[in-house]
Chains A and B, each alone.
Chain A
Amino acid sequence: MADALTIQPDLEFIREVTENSGGDLKKCMQCATCSAVCSLSTESRPFPRQQVLKAQWGMSEQLTGDPAIWLCHDCGDCTARCPRGARPSAVMDALRMAAIRRLAFPRFMGSMIGRRENGAIMFLFSALLLLSVAKLPAFHTAARPLIFADMFPVSRLEMFFYIVSAFVVLVLAISAARFIKELRSAGARGAILPSLLPALIEIFLHRRFAGCEAGKVRRWGHLGVLFGFIGLATASTVLGVEMHLGWMVTPMPLLYPLKMIANLCAVVFAVGVSILIWNRLADREKRVGSSFCDWYFLSLLGGIGLTGILSETLRLAQSPDWMYSIYYIHLSLVLTLFLSTPYSKFVHFLYRTIAMAATWQESKSTGRVQLAAGGPDAALPEGPGLPHAIGMRS
């Protein structure tokens, strides 16, 4: 028998979760409709019912390391059936945000989650930071054809992103370590490394997304974003490294294979993001239950996709008035995404992968299929490697 938990409700935590879930946390009467209709909930982890109860009782410590909040795919089946309008899926979403905040490194950065003004500050900060590598006065007078390197020389930009990436990787590594520690203390003791491969296969196939009734179309949106993002990130990284080493010069011809793959990925990505945004807007429950975090992350992805495609189009059109400014915005958004990775919904790719791997064995033994990955909502996959700048140049 486990040790007794001493109950001291974390009132601040209750307030935070109540606020971020649309104020419906207290409405739950523990009827268990939610965990019964959920296709992913298991007997040993009866989410979202158990998590809603823990949240009502302010048990923040148990919830930070609870893998179940990450096993949820936020499809909204539970919210659709909840007889009291408690929006369990919105509560789960708020719990994920709370966990991200508590796991963040450095800790004060956790507080940026969910604050509107901090979102804007992050973007302005990124834009200013980028100026440090820009070739400021010269690019308007550049010789034709106009290329983006006129504004951001490849060597400087690559070095800049190497440093930023290293920083982000370090921060994510610390967050991951914290999360694993919390997982262990919350009783999820499954070995992570041996289960990583089956978990990743599940994630790439998105099989369990199909079990959710309320958001079938989301599966395709999420898959599009996942593969579009991985494709673009890989292409950009390969290209960036080759250019840096002097093996390749941009812009590439449109029919160049790598270019074709990158453009295809951009289209898949943009379609995926559009589906996710449409899905969130079309479903009333989902719309009401969406928090700023959801919209912040989705807007970043949407903005990156839009400005990336625009930048390429404007470069092809050789429009000096617009191509540089749009490209600048595009890079600023990419940097914002990078810097806010550990403090936004983006980081679900990390926590969910770990949570799935840590519970992989127990899910096998209880006989219920383990879940695929997926975003708390629109989000990105737990991809291998680092997401590099998307459409950094083209």
Chain B
Amino acid sequence: MDKKLGVYICGGCSIGESIDVDRLAELARKDAKAAVCRTHACLCGEEGVAQIQADLASGAVNAVAIAACSPRAKMERFNFGARQLVERINLREQVAWSHKPNDEDTQMLAEDCLRMGVARLEKMEPPEPLAESISRTILVVGGGVAGINAALEGAEAGYDVLLVEKEARLGGFLGELKKTFPTHAPYTQAENNGLAEKVRAVSAHPRVRVFWSTQVVKTEGQPGMFDVTLQNHHGSETHRVGSIVMATGWKPYDRSKLTLPGCDLPDVVTNVELERMAAAGPVTRPSDGKVVNSALFVQCAGSRDPAHLGYCSSVCCMSTLKEAEILRDQNPDIEIFVIYRDMVTPGQYETYYQSVQDHALNFFMKGMVTGLERDANGKVVAHVDGSLMGSPMRVPVDLVVLATGMAANSADNDGIRALRDARRTLERNESETQRTEAEKVIRQLEDREGTEILHLGYRQGPDLPILQSGFPNSHFICFPYETQRTGIYAAGAVRAPMDSQLAAEDACGAMMKAIQSVEMAAQGQAVHPRAGDLSYPNFALQRCTQCKRCTVECPFGAIDEDEKGTPRFNPYRCRRCGICMGACPERIISFKNYSVDMIAGMVKAIEVPDEFADKPRILIFACENDAYPALDQAGMNRASYDASVRVIPLRCLGSMNIVWIADALSRGIDGVLLLGCKFGEDYQCHFIRGSELANRRLENVKDTLERLQLESGRIELVQLGIDEGDRIPHLIDDFVARVRELGPNPYKGF
């Protein structure tokens, strides 16, 4: 595309008082060869915007560089259509507001910003949106409370829904229960299970097709065009769906894994077993069938214990209260003891706790059950310690109930993949050591066999990757239903421990995301966090060396492989983060508006003063999700920092290609600072592990540096949260000071 560049420089918001705008305009005209260059005292006003529109309409300009505020501000004002090339040059937050006004260094910074922006614009091409035919049918896997509600929500919103349940009836766990937690004022009594009505509604809904006793045996393709094979005793059939809601629920924590002494006695049952006994008829002692006159509940049986479930299962306290009420309905004189670590009864549930606690024969105590044993009278004696009583207690009762927690009904994708890889290693009959290693892996992971739920035909494994405690969701704060597989959303107890009311709400949320996913796909747009992005990576496969780095590193499994290992890209699975682009050693992956070449051009556009000028140049690669807004925040707070830095925003730090660092250092840039999201267990990366991957790549860079005889201290990666703008001045000034101490880059001027 032949570019006619228009540069528009704003002098408002104190930009004009701190930068010589006319000199900047001159630079744009002369050096950047802008076809049109205009300055305006308030570019975002009616007049300024109208001028840009007029230039575009007249054809005088077809690529627009707006040197004004941050690209995060006035997005709508400077939106000239999704396919119009626009580059925003941040003169306000990151120059005028954060540096000394009318200073030589500030002016140099502004000029470099302009050069970098223009360089970027020159390499930018308008994206060509994906336009394949998209299915708007949504698959819901699991017919429990979450699945039923998701199906109903989707159908009511006008989408066809396939609801798959592996049992012969809908309802899941909730369907088995006699009573549920209170949902209405005054919240003092358990309610009768009202799920049957919803089951009827979903079964009769014209837009919902229910598959009973059915399992998913294969899921292939990508969002908008998943081909899902369903199998039941009638046989199997394949359906095309646009997105998937995974609502496979939970399973009770395996009591055989509990280590509490005596928890395998006959008169010790779990809360789920008790619920089933109560639903079937009056609860009696399993050992002799006698009436239960006293019962003791052991709370947190497995939950909040790093050796078992590391989290609070969130429903066990409420279940215990409800089960106490059920037991009392049967036998008003029953004595009920509850030994808890903390009673967790959020919101209105507290009222229910109070009302159950109020009964004279319900006894609650904070403490620890250390063991159970059978005494001479056939009672189970619970030993309790760590209570306020100051001495250990023995509580003899007829029945002990273990309040076991919730484990997600998910498949361990990575475990299954490792198991399959190990099997393949054995088949291929590789070396002795590899075979021994593979056998070890098989022994460890054997139980993962056959646990697949979705049977995804993805190179990265057959199910959703799990990040923590068996839950397959990917980002706890910002995208609650998101999984690491685009177009597949988790809802209900498979996502996080929750009760039926929350699961019903969750189902609604996940269904909305599933609908959004098919609608975005239909327009060729990315889903969150780059919602609306029309670009996607292009692979110059003739130069591919089949190193598989892109297929391994893509956090969303978007890239499959053919037999030779050549990547097969599925654009609708892509989140457009560019991690593949950063990973590719051959630099064959690029977006129309984001490429290795483009960023290299920006690096090249930075003017590097010679070593005698005492003007170091520091390059910052900033993640545009968190670090870049944090830099803006520093500017908004008028926090000043060293003006020798040049900031290049990246879609994700994971898209950082190490060639840029080599380019920068060979051009005489004195230091490179990488600002990315926090990684590790509580990662904040919007693309799961971009900053982590960047950090790993940095290790290789450091080797390169040593070969070039440059100090490794010239490069640093700092993890920065979006709310940590206050750290910016110190962080940058300290880094600049450290680089200054190392002296100028010896490659300057080469």
Q: How far, in whole Å, are A3 and B395 apart by their CA atoms in the complex?
A: 13
- Distance in angstroms from B191 CB to nearest chain A CB is 23
- Distance in angstroms from A284 CB to nearest chain B CB is 22
A27 interfacial by beta-carbon distance below 8 Å: yes
Interface residues of A (CB under 8 A from B): 1-7, 9, 11, 14-15, 18, 26-27, 29-30, 46, 49-50, 53-54, 56-57, 59, 62, 84
Q: How far, in whole Å, are A4 and B388 apart by their CA atoms in the complex?
A: 13
- Would you mind naming 10 contact pairs between A and B with Cβ atoms under 8 Å apart? A1-B391, A2-B390, A3-B391, A5-B394, A18-B360, A26-B358, A30-B388, A50-B388, A50-B390, A53-B388
State which residues 331-375 of B face A: CB under 8 Å. 335, 337, 343, 353-354, 357-361, 363-366
A27 touches B394 (CB 8 A): no
Q: Which residues of chain A have C-beta atoms less than 8 A from B178's C-beta?
A: none
B383 touches A9 (CB 8 A): no
Q: Which residues of chain B have C-beta atoms less than 8 A from A9's C-beta?
A: 335, 361, 363
Q: How far, in whole Å, are A2 and B337 apart by their CA atoms in the complex?
A: 22
Q: Which residues of chain A have C-beta atoms less than 8 A from B363's C-beta?
A: 9, 56-57
A53 touches B365 (CB 8 A): yes
B393 interfacial by beta-carbon distance below 8 Å: yes
Q: Which residues of chain A have C-beta atoms less than 8 A from B390's C-beta?
A: 2, 50
A53 touches B389 (CB 8 A): yes
- Distance in angstroms from A35 CB to nearest chain B CB is 9
Q: How far, in whole Å, are A53 and B364 apart by their CA atoms in the complex?
A: 9
Q: How far, in whole Å, are A84 and B350 apart by their CA atoms in the complex?
A: 11
A4 touches B335 (CB 8 A): no
Q: Which of B335, B360, B383 has the most CB of A within 10 A?
A: B360
Q: Which of A4, A7, A57 has the most CB of B within 10 A?
A: A7
A2 touches B391 (CB 8 A): yes
- Distance in angstroms from A3 CB to nearest chain B CB is 7
B680 interfacial by beta-carbon distance below 8 Å: no
B154 interfacial by beta-carbon distance below 8 Å: no
Residue among A5, A15, A56 making CB contact with B392, cutoff 8 Å: A5
Pick the 7 closest A-B CB pairs, nearest first: A2-B391, A4-B392, A7-B395, A4-B394, A6-B394, A5-B393, A26-B358
B388 touches A27 (CB 8 A): no
B365 touches A4 (CB 8 A): no
- Decide yes or no: A15 and B360 within 8 Å by CB, A7-B337, A53-B365 being known contacts: yes
B16 interfacial by beta-carbon distance below 8 Å: no
B396 interfacial by beta-carbon distance below 8 Å: yes
- Decide yes or no: A5 and B391 within 8 Å by CB, A53-B365, A57-B363, A57-B365 being known contacts: yes
A4 touches B383 (CB 8 A): yes
Q: How far, in whole Å, are A101 and B337 apart by their CA atoms in the complex?
A: 28
B391 touches A4 (CB 8 A): yes
A5 touches B360 (CB 8 A): no
A5 touches B389 (CB 8 A): yes
Q: How far, in whole Å, are A361 and B357 apart by their CA atoms in the complex?
A: 38
Q: How far, in whole Å, are A29 and B338 apart by their CA atoms in the complex?
A: 12
Q: How far, in whole Å, are A11 and B383 apart by their CA atoms in the complex?
A: 21
Q: Which residues of chain A have C-beta atoms less than 8 A from B389's C-beta?
A: 5, 50, 53-54, 59, 62
- Distance in angstroms from A7 CB to nearest chain B CB is 4
A7 touches B391 (CB 8 A): no
Q: How far, in whole Å, are A184 and B731 apart by their CA atoms in the complex?
A: 65
A29 touches B360 (CB 8 A): no
Closest to A18 in B: B360
Q: Which of A26, A54, A56 has the most CB of B within 10 A?
A: A26
Q: Which residues of chain A have C-beta atoms less than 8 A from B359's C-beta?
A: 26
Closest to B363 in A: A57
Q: Which residues of chain B have C-beta atoms less than 8 A from A27's C-beta?
A: 354, 357-358
Q: How far, in whole Å, are A63 and B456 apart by their CA atoms in the complex?
A: 64
B360 touches A2 (CB 8 A): no
Q: How far, in whole Å, are A11 and B357 apart by their CA atoms in the complex?
A: 15
Q: Mark B378-422, 1 if CB is under 8 A from A, else 0.
A: 000001000011111111100000000000000000000000000
Q: How far, in whole Å, are A49 and B365 apart by their CA atoms in the complex?
A: 12
B394 touches A7 (CB 8 A): yes
Q: How far, in whole Å, are A15 and B359 apart by their CA atoms in the complex?
A: 11
- Distance in angstroms from B203 CB to nearest chain A CB is 43
Q: How far, in whole Å, are A54 and B388 apart by their CA atoms in the complex?
A: 9
Q: How far, in whole Å, are A46 and B389 apart by their CA atoms in the complex?
A: 10
Closest to B389 in A: A5
- Distance in angstroms from B454 CB to nearest chain A CB is 44
Q: How far, in whole Å, are A59 and B395 apart by their CA atoms in the complex?
A: 12
